[in-house]
Structure 1
Amino acid sequence: MDKIYHILTLVGIAIYWLLVAGVTLRVVLKRKAVSVSLSWLMIIYILPIVGVFCYFLFGELNLGRKRGERAKVMFAPFEEWFRSLSDCQAHLPQGMGAHIKKIDELCTHRMGIPALSGNHLTLHNSPNDILYSIIHDIESSTSTIHMVFYIWHPGGLTDAVASALIRAAKRGVEVKLLLDSAGSARFFRSHWVDMMRDAGIRLIEQMQVSPWRIFLNRLDLRQHRKIIVIDDKIAYTGSMNMVDPAYFKQDSGVGQWIDVIVRMTGPAVNVLAAIHAWDWEFETGERRLPKTPECLIGPSDPHHPIQVVPSGPGMPENLISQVLTLAMHQAKTSVCITTPYFVPSADLLATLKMTAQRGVSVDIILPEKNDSFMVKWASRSFYGELLDAGATIHEFNGGLLHTKSVVIDQKFCLIGTVNIDMRSLWLNFELTLAVDDKSFTQELYRQQQEYIKQSHQIEYSKWRTRSLGHRFLERLFYLFSPLL
C-alpha cells in the first residue's frame, strides 16, 4: 500500500509540474506586456495550485465560442458605418486643434471613427441633477431609448427612472436595456425585471455569471460602459452607473460615490448609438446599425470636435490606452487625472513619470477610501515612483471619488467610463470622449479643483517613512495587478 501511495504521489507531482510548465510556456508565448507576464509567473509560482487555477479563469481573453465567433465578423460592417462619417459635414479635420487632430488620425485609421464637430455638452455633477435630467428626457422621448450600464441598483431616484422607462414603453417607445450580469446582480433579483419586460422593454442580461460558465468564458470580462441614447438625438455617458448614491453601498465604509455625467446633443450622438448597437449584437446576435446620419452643423452650432473612443472584445486592442498616452505626450503645462482605481501598466506609468519629469504639472486625484482592498494597496505601490518623478498625488476625503477624467493644459479633456487600470484599458467594454472644447474642459477642470480642495496631498518625505507593514501590503497586492 505504501508503494502505491508513493507512486501516486510521484504521478501527482509529475502532472502538477507538467501543468505548471505548460502554463508557463503559454504565458510566455502569448507575448503579453513583460510586467503582466512576470506578474502572472510570480502568482503561479508563489501560489502554485491557486495561481494555475486563476490563470485558467482570468489569464486570457476568453469570450466563449459563440461570442468569439460573433466578435470576429462584427468589425467589418461597423467599421464601414464608422468610416462613412468621415464624409459628413461634421468631420472637419482642417479646423481641428493640435490635441484632437492626432487622436482623430489614430481612431480613424484603427477603427474608422472620426472626430465630429457641432456638439453641445453639459456637465452634470450632482446625482439628483443627473437623474432628473435623464427622467425628463425619457418623458420627452418619441421613438427610441437605448441604454447600456454596468450597474443598475434599485432604490431612490433610480426607481423613478425605471418607472419613466415603463411609461415610455407603454406609449410605444422602443426601449432596449443592456445590463451587465455581475454589476447588476441585485437588479436581476428584483421585481423590476418582470415589470419592465411585461411593459415591452427589451431587457438583456449581458455576460451571464454562473458556475456552469466558469471555464467557458472569462468571468471577469465585464460590460462597463454607461450609455443612454434617446431618439438618436440626446446621449449621456460618464462615470455614474444607474444608481442613486444615497441608496447605494451605504454599508461599505467608503462614503457616497462621487460621479459626473455628460449630456450631449449633436452628431457624436450617432456614434454612441452605434456603440450600443455593437454591444447589443455582441450579446444577442441581432444586427441593427443606425441609419447613416446627415451630421449637419447649424450656423449656431459650435465646431469643437468630439472623438468617441470605445474599447472591448472585437475592437482594436489598447485603443483607449493609446489615446490616453497620446494626449499626455502632447501636454505642455498640466495634466490632471481623477480615477477611483489606479493600477497603471508599465507603459502608462512610464508615460506619467516622463510627463512629470519634463516639467509638466501632473496631479493625480484618488479616493482615500476604496471599496476594493486589493486595489487600494496595489495603487499605493506606485506612489513612490510617481512622487519621485515630480507628480503630485491627492487623496480625496469626501467619499469614493468615482469620476474618470483627464484634463490636458486646461484646454482638452478625456471623460468617460475608463479607470486607470489593466481591467479597463485591456479587458472591459469601455468608452471615453476626447473633447476639444475649452469651455467644457475648464468646467471639468474646476470640478477637479473642487475635488482637490476636499483632498489631502501625499508628502513624499512622509511617504518614505511609512511602515514596513504598509510596504509589505503594497508589494503583495502589486503582484495581483493583472487581476485588478
Structure 2
Amino acid sequence: MIVDILLTIHFILLILISLRVLSRHDLTSPARLAWIVILFILPYFGVLIYWMFGEVHLGHDFGQKRDDIIKQLNTHSPSVLGHETTLEKMIKPAYQASFAYAAKATGFHTMEGNQAELMADASETRRRMIADFDAATDHIHVLYYIWLVDGMGIDTAQAFIRAAKRGVTCRAMVDGMGSRKMVRSKIWQEMKNAGVQVSVALPLTNFIKVMLFSRIDLRNHRKITVIDGKIGYSGSRNCADPEFMVKPKYAPWVDIMLRIEGPVVAQNQMLFASDWLIENPDTPLDSFYYDSTPKPNGFPAQVFSDGPTQRHGTTPQFLGALISQAQDTLIISTPYFVPDYSLVSILCATAYRGVEVTMVFPKNNDSFIVAATSRSYYWQLLEAGVKIYEYKPGLLHAKTLTIDGEISLIGSTNLDLRSFDLNYENNIVFSDKKLTADIMQRQYQYIADSDEVTREEVKNWPPSSRIWNNIVATMGPVL
C-alpha cells in the first residue's frame, strides 16, 4: 500500500515537472530534451535533481531588489555609466556593434581615458596588489568568488587589517559557496575585529531555505578589486595562490590579470556596490566614491557584466556579436568550454569565412565532465578550420579573447552555460592595440606550451571516447 502511494506521488510529480519543463519559454529545445531524459531515466533522483537545479531563481523578489538597487545607483551617479553618443568617436565602425550591445545589456557605455598594465605573473599580481592596498588612503573594496586561506589569501587579509587600522574603509565580500572555508576561518574573524566590513554574497546560512526556495548553484563568480576608486584589478584570478590547494592535482592555476586606472574602475565600483547593497541595504549610496576622470592618452573600455537576474541569453548574444566582428584573427583561451550550439555555429562560421580562429583549452581539466563536453565539439571546430590547442603545464584558467589585434575581452566569464545562465560575472571589453598585443603575446605563450589537436588525432579517437564525449555533451544544456 505504501509503495503504491509513493509510486503514485512520484508519477504525479514526474508528470507535473515534465509539463513545467515543456511549458518554459526560457529553455532551448536541447535543454528541454535533456531534462526530460534525466527525469525519465533517473527515477526519483531525476525529480530531485530538477527540484535542486532545474529552475534559475534566487528566491522571492531577489531580482526585483537587485533591479531597484541598480536603478538607485544609476540615478545617484549617472556619470559612471557614460553616454551612448560617444561610441562612434572611440570605436572603429567594424567593432561598434558588440560595444553597443554590451551597453544596452548592462547600462555601462564605452568610456575613454583608461590605462592598464598586464601583470607578468601571479607573483607580480600579488606584489602590486598588496602594495596598492598598503598605499590606500580612503577605501578598499573587493569581491571574490574564491578566497583561500593560503599565501595570497593571508597576505590580502593582513593588508586589509593594516588598512582598517589606519582608518581606511575596507569592504570585503566573498561568495557563500566558493569561499565558505574563508568565512569560517580565524583570519576572517581577525579582519572583522580590526574593523573590516565583511559580507557574503548568496550566503548558505539557512541551507534548508536555500534548497526550498532558490537554486543552490547560482553563484557570484566575480573578481572585483577597487582601491580608492582610482585603481582596479580585473581578470580571471581568485584570491588564491597558483598552487590552488583545494585542487593541487591540476596546479598551477594559470591566470591573467590587468591593473587598471580610469573611468572603467568607476564602473567596476558601481558593480561592486550593486552586489554589496543586496546583502547590506543600509549602506549609504554616498559611501561609494566614483572617479570617472579620463587618464591622458587612455583607451576606450567598458564593463560587461551578467547574472541570472539579467535578461536571459545576454552573454552568448554579446559573445556572438563580438566574435562575428572578427576580420583577420580570433584567439580565445578558456578553461571551461560548454557552449550553447549557437556559439559553436558562430565560431565555425567565423573560421569558414576565412578568419584565423584559435582556441586554447587545458589539457587536464579539473572537471572530467567539462573535458568530455569540450572535446565533443572538437571535430566540428576542426572541420571548419579552427585551430585547437591543449595547454600542458597546468590548468589554464585565463579567460581571454582578442580580435584582429584591436579588441580584447578580459574577465571572469567562461565559455560555458554556467557563466551564461547561472553565475554573476564581470569583464572588461576594450579597444587598444598595445594592450591587445600584450595579451596576444601571452596567448602565444599559452600556445607554445600546448599540444595542437589535429583532425587526424580526433578521427582516430577510440569509439568509446567519442561515445562518452557525446553522451556527456547531450547533458550539456543542464550542466
User: Residue in 2 aligned with 1:410?
Assistant: 405
Is residue 275 from structure 1 mapped to residue 271 from structure 2 by the alignment?
A: yes
Q: CA deviation at 1:324?
A: 1.1
Decide which of 294, 312, 315 is 1:297's aligned counterpart: 294
Which residue identity is paired with 1:254?
Y
1:205 aligns with 2:200: yes
Q: Which residue number corresponds to residue 22 of structure 1?
A: 16
Q: What amino acid sits opposite 2:294 in the alignment? A: I
Letter in 2 for 1:157: M
SS in 1 for 2:398: coil
Q: Write the deviation string for residues 426-480 of structure 1: whole angstroms up to 9, x where unpaired.
A: 1111011111011101110110010000100111112122112212321232233
1:5-55 deviation digits (Å, cap 9, x = unpaired) = 3xx444433332221121111112212122222222222222232222111
**350 and 87 in structure 1: CA distance in 2 versus 1, 3 angstrom threshold:** closer
**Which of 182, 187, 191 pairs up with 1:196?**
191
Q: Which region of structure 1 is more displaced relative to structure 2, 310-319 or 254-263?
A: 310-319
Q: Tell me the distance in 1 between the aligned counterparts of 2:292 and 2:273.
A: 18
Aligned to 2:252: 256
Aligned residues: 475
Contact 1:418–1:424 (8 Å) recurs in 2:
yes
Question: Which residue does 2:280 correspond to in 1?
Answer: 284
Aligned-pair distance for 1:392? 1.4
What is aligned with 1:147?
Answer: 142
Alignment of 1:451-466 (within 5 A): 451-466=446-461
Distance 2:284 2:397 in 1: 32
Local SS of the residue matching 2:402? strand
Deviations 1:287-342 (A, max 9, x none): 544668563335x332x210210111433333332221111111111111100011
1:266 aligns with 262
Q: Could you tell me the percent identity over the aligned residues?
A: 32
Q: What's the CA shift for 1:370? A: 1.1
- Deviations, residues 70-115 of structure 1 (Å, cap 9, x unaligned): 2242343344457544667994532322355223322333332111
Q: Do 1:89 and 1:297's aligned partners in 2 also have CA atoms closer than 8 Å?
A: no
Structure 2 segments unaligned to the other structure (5+ residues)? none
Query: What is the deviation of 1:207?
Result: 1.5
Give the AA of the match of 2:251.
G
**Displacement after TM superposition at 1:375 (Å):** 1.1
| Distance in 1 (alpha carbons) for counterparts of 2:76 and 2:400 | 28
Residue 444, structure 1, aligned to residue 402, structure 2: no
How does the TM-score come out when normalised to structure 2? Answer: 0.94
Q: Give runs of aligned pairs for residues 302-317 of structure 1, distance below 5 A.
A: 302=298, 304-317=299-312
Q: Aligned pair 1:224/2:213, yes or no?
A: no
Counterpart of 1:429, as a letter, is: Y
Asked if 2 retains the 8 angstrom alpha-carbon contact of 1:405 and 1:413, the reply is yes
Deviations 1:336-361, CA, capped at 9 Å, x for gaps: 11000110011111111111121211
Give the superposition deviation at 1:151: 0.4
In structure 1, give the amino acid aligned to 2:198: L
3-state secondary structure, aligned to 1:219: coil
What is the root-mean-square deviation in Å for CA atoms of aligned residues? 2.2
Cα displacement (A) at 1:143: 0.6
Instruction: Please give the residue correspondences for 1:66-215 in structure 2 after superposition, counting only pairs within 5 Å.
Output: 67-80=62-75, 84-85=79-80, 91=86, 93-209=88-204, 211-212=207-208, 213-215=210-212
- SS, match of residue 65 in structure 1: coil
- CA shift, 1:411, in A, is 1.4
Partners of 2:419 and 2:247 in 1: CA distance: 25
Q: Matched residues in 1 for 2:428 and 2:76: separation?
A: 19
Amino acid in the other structure paired with 1:182: M
2:234 to 234, 237, 241: 237
Question: 1:372 is matched with which residue?
Answer: 367
Given candidates 442, 467, 471, the residue that maps to 2:466 is 471
- Any gaps of 5 or more consecutive residues in structure 1? none
Amino acid corresponding to residue 264 of structure 1 in structure 2? I
Partner of 2:7: 13
How far does residue 193 in structure 1 lie from its aligned partner after superposition? 1.3
Distance 2:355 2:339 in 1: 19
Instruction: Confirm whether residue 346 of structure 1 aligns to residue 345 of structure 2.
Output: no
CA shift, 1:481, in A, is 1.8
Note closer, same or farther for the CA distance 1:20–1:250 as it changes in structure 2 (3 Å cut).
closer
Task: Specify the alignment match of 1:39 in structure 2.
Answer: 34
Q: Give the 3-state SS of the residue equivalent to 1:393 in structure 2.
A: strand
Contact 1:158 1:242 in 2 (8 A): yes
Q: Distance between the aligned counterparts of 2:418 and 2:42, measured in 1?
A: 21
Structure 1 distance, partners of 2:284, 2:356, is 45
For the residues of structure 2 that align with 1:380 and 1:476, how far apart are their CA atoms? 12
**Retained in 1: the 8 A contact 2:22–2:32?**
yes
| 1:483 shift after superposition | 4.0
SS in 2 for 1:227: strand
Contact 1:320–1:432 (Cα < 8 Å) also in 2: no
Q: Whole-Å Cα distance in 1 between the matches of residues 46 and 84 of structure 2?
A: 53
Other structure's SS at 2:226 match: strand
CA contact (8 A) 2:153 2:240 kept: yes
Q: In 1, Cα distance between the equivalents of 2:243 and 2:97?
A: 41
Q: Cα distance, 1:365 vs. partner?
A: 0.3
Q: Give distance in 1, aligned partners of 2:190 and 2:347.
A: 48
Distance 1:362 1:429 in 2: 27
TM-score (norm. length: structure 1): 0.93
Contact kept, 8 Å, 2:399 with 2:413, in 1: the verdict is yes
Deviations 1:261-302 (A, max 9, x none): 11100111110000000111223334544668563335x332
Please, which moves more after superposition, 44-53 or 193-202? 44-53
Separation in 2, partners of 1:448, 1:148: 26
